[in-house]
């Protein structure tokens, strides 16, 4: 029911950076657990970060390696994912979703945006 929209994807060279944004027009995101996942062709959807509602606790899998940072801007009703030192293996469609709790299990997330393409190539 929550309608999410991702933006900020594009083409970037290895080592470059991108900032992705996730927003909702109908509800404030302050009280939602928001996760970023990615999916490349032929691969499972993989969680790369999550930020909890209310407390803004952040979580990252080992694959993030400290390169990714998730944050919430309440004034803009936006959850952002800053990706630094991008690698070709980061190429995927990136989605934001909401869940009852932060996790890296895609089935825990009840809603998703349409995704934004990130391509890392020289």
Chunk the chain into consecutive blocks of 10 residues (it has 122) and report each block's average pLDDT, rounded to whole numbers. 94 98 92 97 96 96 90 96 96 97 96 97 96
* β-bridge partners, 71: 80
Give the neighbor-by-neighbor strand order of the sheet with 78-83: 4-7, 18-24, 78-83, 68-73
| pLDDT value at residue 51 | 98
| pLDDT value at residue 1 | 77
| pLDDT value at residue 33 | 97
């Amino acid at each position: 029911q929550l309608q999410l929209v991702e933006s900020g994807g594009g083409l970037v060279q290895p080592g470059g950076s991108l900032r992705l944004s996730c927003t909702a027009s109908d509800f404030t995101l302050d009280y939602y657990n928001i996760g970023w996942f990615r999916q490349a062709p032929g691969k499972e959807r993989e969680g790369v970060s999550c930020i909890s509602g209310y407390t803004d606790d952040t979580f990252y899998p080992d694959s993030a390696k400290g390169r990714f940072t998730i944050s919430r801007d309440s004034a803009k009703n936006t959850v952002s994912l800053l990706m630094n030192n991008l690698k070709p293996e980061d190429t995927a469609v990136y989605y934001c979703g909401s869940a009852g709790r932060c996790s890296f299990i895609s089935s825990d997330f009840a809603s998703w945006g349409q995704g934004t393409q990130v391509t890392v190539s020289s």
